[in-house]
Chains A and B, each alone.
Chain A
């Protein structure tokens, strides 16, 4: 098997398995950095935004690659280049403007924080720790269902109409705690009852089952912070965070 064929095989595997994709990206970090450096005409460090952009461009290249598009590395290099150029153009539009929320300097404080410094930064750190805790717990529960956040992101409804329909289903689940209990006990989504209760097409639910699963799990015990983040969705007309 030639080098090129080996590469294509690895990319196709990475398409299926996010972990393999991560490995592939790690192995090609020098390549990605080199490509990014070429575009910005200076050494690209890991601290640069361009570096992150180049990384996601490489990930997009993995997802979007087809054999018919030619050699993978050439394709990835092209994507990295164009993605960074796009990013720089977009940034150039914000030159001379200051975002209240933009993080400045080495501490993650935004201008807004500085202006209305009502918050305790210590609290912030604690808050983040708590959030991390919740997310880790949620990830662990999702693991028992064999679902990762990456899967959910891929499975997330993109059309706003579908998103609204799913939100309706999620709310219905929250209003009927016995459905959530059943979910945790049987490890199965009560799709039939959800569909019957909301009048949403069962097919829609099937298509976004991972997304609905996570949104229902968030409404089980714990996860207050996450729930607070999306309170908007969970309680229709509820106050925003």
Chain B
């Protein structure tokens, strides 16, 4: 390729190549009119720093933000723990870290029926349980002598232990407010420590009527005379958590099977509540299953 030098500047020369291109090239001591065979062409101007680069950084920032928010949202909605509540209807409540309900599922048919039309979203676990219990009462699933079983399932054992306490006490408090007569709530834990770690925590809250111990419960209503039951309960209630579980419930465990059994018997003894609550719908029938339950529970503990 030959180049014809057209114009010379101190910094560069303009040359015309044989293909009709005008090029700027290094002026290697050229003179106008000269034909040269090799040139050192001028380089293209370096790419301009693009305007509007802020836009890209902003877009990147926005993308990051979306990711972070998305992750948070996801975390927020990820079940952190589950509470199985069994009355007769059994439901599972999934909660996140902040104890907000993020999922609610009926385990059995009654459970599914119970939660139909119920909106659990953005409600505290306590609230959801209260309302479900209320629904259960309204639907006549839960009545005197009924039992609420809570099974806590979470990776974090500390959560289980903590909830075990707070949930039961909360439910007790709640039920005492909403039911017109005394309900005793019993918290038992099934299985020993090693089992619990695998299976999750089970809290059984039996509800039975007609008996309340004032010193043990904060929910002793004025309805019930202390004199009626005081004696029996003190007798049976002296054992406090020496069975190894950390139940901090109002109801005290009996020291042994026999004592418990007898306490149970004498307590719900026909005489007592037959007299005090003549209008109670629960009959003796309710007693015997409860007594059995108590027996078996304490058995497993031992």
Contacts and interface: CB of A to CB of B under 8 A. Distances in A.
B4 A156 contact: no
Contact of A52 (B24, B28, B48): B28
B18 A232 contact: yes
A52 B12 CA distance: 8
Nearest to B4: A229
Interface string B22-57: 111111110111110110101101101100000000
A135 B33 contact: yes
Contacts of A157: 21
A22 interface: yes
A149 B6 contact: yes
Nearest to B15: A153
A66 B11 contact: no
Given A163-B21, A230-B18, A55 B33 contact: no
A148 B7 contact: yes
B9 interface: yes
B244 interface: no
A230 B20 contact: yes
Given A68-B49, A110-B37, A132-B32, A22 B23 contact: no
Interface centre among A55, A58, A129, A226 (most CB of B within 10 A): A55
A228 to B, nearest CB: 10
Interface centre among B11, B19, B24, B49 (most CB of A within 10 A): B11
B122 interface: no
Contacts of A128: 31, 33-34
Contacts of B37: 99, 101-102, 110
A149 B48 contact: no
Contacts of A240: 18
B49 A163 contact: no
A25 B8 CA distance: 13
Contacts of B23: 153, 156
Contacts of A211: 22
A55 B26 contact: yes
A56 B25 contact: yes
B33 A153 contact: no
Question: Chain A, interface size: which category?
Answer: 35 or more
Interface string A34-47: 00000000000001
A95 to B, nearest CB: 15
Nearest to A215: B20
Contact of B29 (A22, A47, A58, A153): A47
B16 interface: yes
Contacts of B24: 56, 59, 150, 153-154
Nearest to B7: A149
A142 B153 CA distance: 90
Question: Chain B, interface size: which category?
Answer: 35 or more
A26 interface: yes
B10 interface: yes
A241 interface: yes
Nearest to B47: A64
B43 A153 contact: no
A85 to B, nearest CB: 14
B178 interface: no
Nearest to A134: B33
Contacts of A131: 4, 32-35
B125 interface: no
Contacts of B49: 66, 68-69
A22 B28 CA distance: 16
Contacts of B11: 21-22, 25, 55-56, 58-59, 62
Contacts of A156: 21-23
B123 interface: no
B46 to A, nearest CB: 5
Contacts of B40: 52-53, 56, 87
Nearest to A154: B24
B121 interface: no
Given A66-B49, A132-B32, A233 B20 contact: yes
A139 interface: yes
B10 A232 contact: no
A55 B12 contact: yes
Interface in A203-241: 211, 214-215, 226, 229-230, 232-233, 240-241
A150 B7 contact: yes
B97 interface: no
Given A53-B26, A99-B38, A131-B4, 4 more contacts: A135-B33, A149-B14, A166-B20, A226-B4
Interface of B: 2, 4, 6-7, 9-12, 14, 16, 18-29, 31-35, 37-38, 40, 42-43, 45-46, 48-49
9 contacts: A22-B11, A47-B29, A49-B26, A55-B26, A135-B7, A149-B7, A150-B24, A230-B20, A241-B2
The 8 lowest CB-CB distance pairs between A and B, nearest first, are: A132-B33, A59-B11, A131-B33, A149-B7, A233-B20, A101-B37, A56-B26, A149-B14
